[in-house]
């Protein structure tokens, strides 16, 4: 929020005309208070020690104090929150100017961006965290969210894939709704339509990020505050600062971490025979064939031969500076992240993601008017393969090691397992999907200072976006047979959207009677969003160009004109009223009233209030004695109601009928059809009642600072598809306000700064946890959101929103008497080496009554730890991040040997299976699909598939050396720093064959199609160098 800079000082207050409190006024003392940078300091409290005579400095830091002459030998005390108190003997002086020094490391002193303004940390009662540019800019990531991961407690970032340009799952304080859990993103004061828009920003343009967590901080965003708010402020120039030119860049390689290893082809054949034998089937390989495989050795058909160490680079240039009445910041950025997959699909550049950023931020002050404009242009291009990563990885993994992708002549080969496709050939020649997105972000805003106490701000801003996609599938022929892409599909699509936001708000700030400080912000806002797009899809296009030729067909079902329009509007009024007494007792009231086009008349208005209090205990006299040890202590309590309107679609209260082509045919001629979307006219917001209690503290001259928070949030009227409607209803029931979730949790963060001699160190750690409980789900029912033979996902009242469900394993049938005595599921036949399941209800049968809750897929105890040390030009930053507790179920060919016969492989990590010699195994005996053994072990959903996905990761390591300025200044360089950078270089996890960070879920752990086949894009480790030069 750039607004912040021209809104400051937040404490623009003070009386210009002071009156003495004593009638017996004899002398008058005046002066000005300035801060450490020489800037006037408004709001400073001045009092005569030992009396109750005092005043407050005005907006220009000036004060006048009348006092009886018996006080001329006294002392004046100047105090301001976050600054060291200063005492000055009057000694008859009539003018006393004072410069106050900030308390070292006092976080209460920070100016923090909040919605529609800024506030000093000390005055904030809500729960929020800030992340500075230092914690974002030093990491060679293309994605600002990756940079934020682990930096703010309970800001939970998960990857669903590590593909270049891929979006992430974002949760603030866990999961509080079964619907959309996306936080609201606000960039420079303008509300974004999509939380992933942050990824379009150049991370090095970000000045700071504020994460609003509770109702106290987020209620100003009303109907969209329930999931928290991420406020991003981009960099701007400063007044009276000479122009500087900064260049920073990094270059390095992403080394994909292949964690899986096939057993040799001969071993694979041997185990395959064992599986067949255990299934009562004849062997597939003769001993001679196995010997032959042994002699042949391994081929190239694996992941390793589809990937390479892909380069990743970033280049950024910025110029900033400012004069008396204007300031500017201009930057340009280029980022290029190549995909780890080889190839280019046949034409053009290799697979990868590029982003170009240009930013302009200009501020001018003209009398009482301050004007700011921000313009940003972003272009991204993402070229990916035409078949999908999952398919590539699955096909590479499911084929035994004796096969190769190519023969000596370079022909692409198929084999009896992967008989149709060869993904090496697809990557090299099978076409591509290229997204080209352009976005312009603009923000014009102005503030008029009407009086010293009253300001009026107008904002107009938004984005214009144009997203395009070009897809081609081209033909690849294989030997001895098989062909890919002979449908020769080409499609082109484009979507244009506008999102505009207009705001007008007034801010008032005044101190009454010295101790009563009052400020208020009241405003209105209007938002409009509009999107339309088209697509043209053809098949059997020209093999070289994708153009239309003989036989080309237009795919009417998948082609559409620019008719489809998504549109929504939101009209709002909002306000924040702050009051504090003696800068010790804080009370504020925040509200928003929203009116949304997503809901029907009568259901579209919502009022969202929050009442918040704070007590700066450390300012109390009784704390005087320990203040030297405990410098700060503030208690905060908030309660409010915030909303969530994101789950509902744009028109979901209206029943609609959509026509479509190619429903059927009569007389060999296509016939169109029409389908129905059912509606719910009663649909309205979700409401989250949130209670938060927290404390901020500082010890030992604020070398040790931290905060702790606890929250309890109950979200009701959750918008979701009713889950209690049987399928025999025959249609998807429309979304309704039906569920209720409680989300409780805590956050703790601690920073310790240590300076000994020339060495400066800082340790910063945060940890958080949340626990969500489903309180109601469409009439207290429970729902399976995923039901397969491997496990189930359940939503059940009284349990976390989504849990794995199935049988608990109970070791193996170790001998024949086990087999005859211990029960097994009805319909299965078991033998020695098969899994036993727990008979939980003890009825001597294994049936659905023995199924139970077997794991929570959401990460718990998420933590981050940053260590910095600087000495004589050297600096080091190490950032560690992780998850303390998570259960992840994985299935597919990397878990089950010879998976469905679709997979014909066995992996090193699967070798711990039951044999008479290995009775305490991780996995049951080998058997093939369709056999009783396989059915019992692998088709009877159980925690056989459970893996511990807790991890701790050295996410970032940055070691730099700054050349001595005395040296570099001779050639006009103010600062020159070189660095080496490592990312993801070390991970500790019990899950050793797949990256524990990736998740198959979306951000509400919704699982209608969640089934992790362990086929995610590989985790790249990054090794590179950086250069940072400032002129």
814: tokens are: 């170790």
What DSSP string describes 300-315? S-SGGGGB--EEEEEE
Which residue, chain included where needed, has tokens 């020690």? 49
Nearer to another protein, 707 or 928 (CB): 928
Nearest distance, CB of residue 529 and another protein, angstroms: 10
Which residue, chain included where needed, has tokens 């088209």? 534
Nearer to another protein, 604 or 740 (CB): 604
Nearest distance, CB of residue 284 and another protein, angstroms: 5
Based on the shown chain and the rule CB under 8 A, indicate whether residue 792 belongs to the binding site for another protein: yes
- List the one residue from 167, 390, 558, 918 that touches another protein (CB under 8 A): 558
- In 355-422, where does DSSP find H-type helix? 389-397
Based on the shown chain and the rule CB under 8 A, indicate whether residue 781 belongs to the binding site for another protein: yes
Based on the shown chain and the rule CB under 8 A, indicate whether residue 654 belongs to the binding site for another protein: yes
Nearer to another protein, 285 or 356 (CB): 285
Contact flags string 942-981 toward another protein, x per CB under 8 A: ----------------------------------------
Taking CB under 8 A as the binding criterion, the range among 67-75, 90-98, 693-701, 926-934 that sits at the site for another protein is 926-934
Map the footprint of another protein across residues 837-876, applying CB under 8 A. Answer: 848
Taking CB under 8 A as the binding criterion, the range among 38-46, 71-79, 474-482, 867-875 that sits at the site for another protein is 474-482
Map the footprint of another protein across residues 596-625, applying CB under 8 A. Answer: 596-597, 601, 604
Nearest distance, CB of residue 482 and another protein, angstroms: 8
Question: What span, in angstroms and rounded, lies between the C-alpha atoms of 156 and 168?
Answer: 10
328: tokens are: 């500017």
- Cα-Cα-Cα-Cα torsion 540, 543, 544, 548, nearest 10 degrees, comes to -20
Give me the sign of the Cα torsion angle 732, 737, 738, 742. positive
The residue count for binding another protein (CB under 8 A) is 99
Nearest distance, CB of residue 553 and another protein, angstroms: 6
Based on the shown chain and the rule CB under 8 A, indicate whether residue 526 belongs to the binding site for another protein: yes
Based on the shown chain and the rule CB under 8 A, indicate whether residue 882 belongs to the binding site for another protein: no
Nearest distance, CB of residue 952 and another protein, angstroms: 37
From the list 750, 692, 577, the residue with the least C-alpha distance to 225 is: 692
Relative to beta strand 565-581, strand 585-596 is antiparallel
Map the footprint of another protein across residues 189-218, applying CB under 8 A. Answer: none
Nearest distance, CB of residue 670 and another protein, angstroms: 5
Nearer to another protein, 227 or 928 (CB): 928
- List the one residue from 512, 581, 607, 729 that touches another protein (CB under 8 A): 729
Based on the shown chain and the rule CB under 8 A, indicate whether residue 543 belongs to the binding site for another protein: no
470 bridge partner residues: 434, 492
Phi then psi for residue 403, to 5 deg, are -90, 160
Q: Which residues have a Cβ under 8 Å from the Cβ of 384 and sit 6 or more positions away?
A: 163, 339, 351, 432, 433, 434
680: tokens are: 């719910």
Nearest distance, CB of residue 536 and another protein, angstroms: 14
Query: Exposed/middle/buried for 248, CB within 10 Å: 0-12, 13-18, 19+?
Result: buried
Nearer to another protein, 460 or 518 (CB): 460
- List the one residue from 602, 726, 757, 972 that touches another protein (CB under 8 A): 726
- List the one residue from 544, 671, 780, 1008 that touches another protein (CB under 8 A): 671
For 270-296, letters b (16+ CB in 10 Å) and e give bbbbbbbebbeeebebeeeebeebeee
CB atoms within 10 A of CB 349: 14
For the chain, how big is the Rg over CA atoms in Å? 32
Taking CB under 8 A as the binding criterion, the range among 145-153, 412-420, 637-645, 913-921 that sits at the site for another protein is 412-420
Taking CB under 8 A as the binding criterion, the range among 38-46, 89-97, 521-529, 745-753 that sits at the site for another protein is 521-529
Q: Are 638 and 683 in contact (CB under 8 A)?
A: no
Nearest distance, CB of residue 662 and another protein, angstroms: 4
Nearest distance, CB of residue 936 and another protein, angstroms: 9
Question: What span, in angstroms and rounded, lies between the C-alpha atoms of 544 and 347?
Answer: 10
Based on the shown chain and the rule CB under 8 A, indicate whether residue 550 belongs to the binding site for another protein: no
289: tokens are: 């064939």
From the list 444, 446, 459, the residue with the least C-alpha distance to 525 is: 459
- List the one residue from 38, 367, 410, 480 that touches another protein (CB under 8 A): 480
Map the footprint of another protein across residues 285-304, applying CB under 8 A. Answer: 285
Give me the sign of the Cα torsion angle 208, 211, 216, 218. positive
Based on the shown chain and the rule CB under 8 A, indicate whether residue 939 belongs to the binding site for another protein: yes
Please state the length of the chain: 1031
554: tokens are: 């237009």
- List the one residue from 95, 295, 408, 728 that touches another protein (CB under 8 A): 728
Contact flags string 571-600 toward another protein, x per CB under 8 A: x-x---------------------xxx---
945: tokens are: 């598939």
Question: What span, in angstroms and rounded, lies between the C-alpha atoms of 336 and 864?
Answer: 27
Map the footprint of another protein across residues 249-278, applying CB under 8 A. Answer: 272, 276
Based on the shown chain and the rule CB under 8 A, indicate whether residue 668 belongs to the binding site for another protein: yes
Q: Are 204 and 621 in contact (CB under 8 A)?
A: no
Contact flags string 813-832 toward another protein, x per CB under 8 A: --------------xx----
Q: Are 705 and 751 in contact (CB under 8 A)?
A: yes
Taking CB under 8 A as the binding criterion, the range among 3-11, 60-68, 417-425, 699-707 that sits at the site for another protein is 417-425
Element (H or E) spanning 748, and its range? strand 736-756
Map the footprint of another protein across residues 484-503, applying CB under 8 A. Answer: 486-488, 502-503
Based on the shown chain and the rule CB under 8 A, indicate whether residue 456 belongs to the binding site for another protein: no
Based on the shown chain and the rule CB under 8 A, indicate whether residue 88 belongs to the binding site for another protein: no
Taking CB under 8 A as the binding criterion, the range among 119-127, 433-441, 671-679, 867-875 that sits at the site for another protein is 671-679
Based on the shown chain and the rule CB under 8 A, indicate whether residue 345 belongs to the binding site for another protein: no
CA angle 925, 931, 935 (to 5 degrees): 75
From the list 382, 363, 377, the residue with the least C-alpha distance to 332 is: 377
Based on the shown chain and the rule CB under 8 A, indicate whether residue 556 belongs to the binding site for another protein: yes
First to last CA, the chain: 27
């Amino acid at each position: 929020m750039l607004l912040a800079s021209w809104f400051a000082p937040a404490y623009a207050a003070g009386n210009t005309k002071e009156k003495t409190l004593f009638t017996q006024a004899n002398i008058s003392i005046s002066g000005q208070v300035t801060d450490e940078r020489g800037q006037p300091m408004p709001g400073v409290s001045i009092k005569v020690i030992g009396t109750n005579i005092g005043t407050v400095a005005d907006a220009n830091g000036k004060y006048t104090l009348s006092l009886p002459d018996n006080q001329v030998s006294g002392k004046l005390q100047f105090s301001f929150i976050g600054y060291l108190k200063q005492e000055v003997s009057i000694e008859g002086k009539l003018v006393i100017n004072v410069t106050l020094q900030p308390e070292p490391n006092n976080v209460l002193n920070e100016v923090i961006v909040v919605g529609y303004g800024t506030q000093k940390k000390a005055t904030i009662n809500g729960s929020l965290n800030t992340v500075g540019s230092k914690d974002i800019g030093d990491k060679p990531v293309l994605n600002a969210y990756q940079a934020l991961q682990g930096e703010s407690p309970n800001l939970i970032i998960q990857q669903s894939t590590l593909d270049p340009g891929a979006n992430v799952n974002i949760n603030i304080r866990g999961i509080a709704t079964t619907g959309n859990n996306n936080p609201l993103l606000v960039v420079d004061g303008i509300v974004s339509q999509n939380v992933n828009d942050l990824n379009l920003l150049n991370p090095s343009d970000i000045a700071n990020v504020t994460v609003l967590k509770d109702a106290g901080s987020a209620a100003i965003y009303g109907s969209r505050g329930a999931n928290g708010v991420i406020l991003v402020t981009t960099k701007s120039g400063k007044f009276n600062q000479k122009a500087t030119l900064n260049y920073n860049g990094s270059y390095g390689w992403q080394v994909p971490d292949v964690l899986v290893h096939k057993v040799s082809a001969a071993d694979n054949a041997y185990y395959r025979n064992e599986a067949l034998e255990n299934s009562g089937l004849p062997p597939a390989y003769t001993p001679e064939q196995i010997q032959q495989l042994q002699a042949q050795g391994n081929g190239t058909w694996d992941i390793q031969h589809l990937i390479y160490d892909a380069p990743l680079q970033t280049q950024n240039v910025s110029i900033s500076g400012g004069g008396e009445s204007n300031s500017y910041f201009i930057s340009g950025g280029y980022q290029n992240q190549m995909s780890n997959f080889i190839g280019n699909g046949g034409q053009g550049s290799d697979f990868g993601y590029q982003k170009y950023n240009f930013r302009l931020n200009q501020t001018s002050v003209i009398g009482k008017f301050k004007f700011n404009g921000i313009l940003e242009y972003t272009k991204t291009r993402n070229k990916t393969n035409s078949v999908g990563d999952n398919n590539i990885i699955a096909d590479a993994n499911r084929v035994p090691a004796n096969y190769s992708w190519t023969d000596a002549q370079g022909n692409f080969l198929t084999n009896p397992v992967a008989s149709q496709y060869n993904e090496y050939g697809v990557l090299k020649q099978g076409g591509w999907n290229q997204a080209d997105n352009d976005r312009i972000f603009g923000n014009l805003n102005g503030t008029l200072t009407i009086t010293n106490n009253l300001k009026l701000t107008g904002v107009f801003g938004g984005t214009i976006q144009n997203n395009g996609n070009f897809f081609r599938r081209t033909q690849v022929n294989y030997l001895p047979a098989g062909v890919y892409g002979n449908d020769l599909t080409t499609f082109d699509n484009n979507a244009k959207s506008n999102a505009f936001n207009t705001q007008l708000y007034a801010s008032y700030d005044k101190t009454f009677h010295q101790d009563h400080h009052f400020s208020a912000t009241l405003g209105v806002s209007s938002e409009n969003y509009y999107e339309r797009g088209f697509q043209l899809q053809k098949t059997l296009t020209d093999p070289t160009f994708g153009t239309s030729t003989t036989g080309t067909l237009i795919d009417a079902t998948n082609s559409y004109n620019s008719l489809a329009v998504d549109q929504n509007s939101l009209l709002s009024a909002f306000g924040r009223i702050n009051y504090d007494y003696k800068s010790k007792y804080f009370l504020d009231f925040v509200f928003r009233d929203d009116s949304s086009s997503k809901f029907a008349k009568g259901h579209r208005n919502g009022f969202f209030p929050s009442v918040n209090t704070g007590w700066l205990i450390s300012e109390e006299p009784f704390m005087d004695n320990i203040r030297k040890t405990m410098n700060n202590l503030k208690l905060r309590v908030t309660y409010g109601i915030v909303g969530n309107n994101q789950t509902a679609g744009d028109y979901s209260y209206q029943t609609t009928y959509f026509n479509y082509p190619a429903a059927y045919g009569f007389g060999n001629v296509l016939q169109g059809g029409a389908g129905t979307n059912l509606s719910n006219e009663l649909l309205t917001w979700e409401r989250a009642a949130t209670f938060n209690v927290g404390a901020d503290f500082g010890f030992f001259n604020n070398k040790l600072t931290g905060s702790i928070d606890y929250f309890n949030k109950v979200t009701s009227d959750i918008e979701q598809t009713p889950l209690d409607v049987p399928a025999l209803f025959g249609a998807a029931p429309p979304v309704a306000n039906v569920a209720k979730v409680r989300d409780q949790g805590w956050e703790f963060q601690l920073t310790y700064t240590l300076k000994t001699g020339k060495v400066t160190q800082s340790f910063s750690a945060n940890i958080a946890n949340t626990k969500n409980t489903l309180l109601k789900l469409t009439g207290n029912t429970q729902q399976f959101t995923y039901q397969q033979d491997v496990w189930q996902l359940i939503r059940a009242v009284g349990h976390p929103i989504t849990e794995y469900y199935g049988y608990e394993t109970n070791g193996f049938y170790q001998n024949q008497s086990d087999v005859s005595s211990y029960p097994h599921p009805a319909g299965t036949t078991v033998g020695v080496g098969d899994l036993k399941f727990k008979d939980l209800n003890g009825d001597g049968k294994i049936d659905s009554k023995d199924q139970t809750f077997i794991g929570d897929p959401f990460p718990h105890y998420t933590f981050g730890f940053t260590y910095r040390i600087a000495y004589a030009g050297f600096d080091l930053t190490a950032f560690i991040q992780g998850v303390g507790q998570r259960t992840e179920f994985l299935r597919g060919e990397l878990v089950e040997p010879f998976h469905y016969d679709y997979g014909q492989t066995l992996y090193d990590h699967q070798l711990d299976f039951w044999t008479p010699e290995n009775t305490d195994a991780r996995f049951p005996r080998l058997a093939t699909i369709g056999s009783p053994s396989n059915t019992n072990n692998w088709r009877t959903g159980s925690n056989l598939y459970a893996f511990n996905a807790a991890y701790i990761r050295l996410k970032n390591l940055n070691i730099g050396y700054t050349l001595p300025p005395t040296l570099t200044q001779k050639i006009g360089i103010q600062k020159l720093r070189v660095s080496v950078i490592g990312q993801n270089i070390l991970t500790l996890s019990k899950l050793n064959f797949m990256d524990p960070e990736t998740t198959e879920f979306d951000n509400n752990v919704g699982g209608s199609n969640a089934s992790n086949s362990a086929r995610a894009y590989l985790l790249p480790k990054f090794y590179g160098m950086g250069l940072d030069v400032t002129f």
